[in-house]
Structure 1
């Protein structure tokens, strides 16, 4: 991954551009669509944060 980013950065530099520096940090975890929908629904319905967190924790998959 890092080697690929370095190659992309070199090509971008040759073209006068750059690669987003955030890509060089640790990979950003993806947020599941379930989580996004749950947060949206909680905002719309005014659901308490504690209830939202309990629902999301129940869906956690052990790593």
Structure 2
């Protein structure tokens, strides 16, 4: 699992360093946030838990 997070993090940070990506973030009012693999893994886990709760609370079912 860690090698998957490492690879995703590497690709994410490379994309965030791209000038076109930085410009697009700026156009949308965002700020690129490069992360360490540990931070990315925590973000993914936290977001998965958060949105899982929202989906269950709204009783959303796949079609």
TM-score higher than 0.5: no
Instruction: Report the TM-score range of the alignment, normalised by the length of the smaller protein.
Output: 0.3 to 0.5
TM-score relative to the length of structure 1? 0.34
**Which of the pair has more CA radius of gyration?**
1
Q: TM-score, normalised by structure 2?
A: 0.34
Question: More helix per residue: 1 or 2?
Answer: 2
Higher relative contact order (CA 8 A, sep 6+): 2
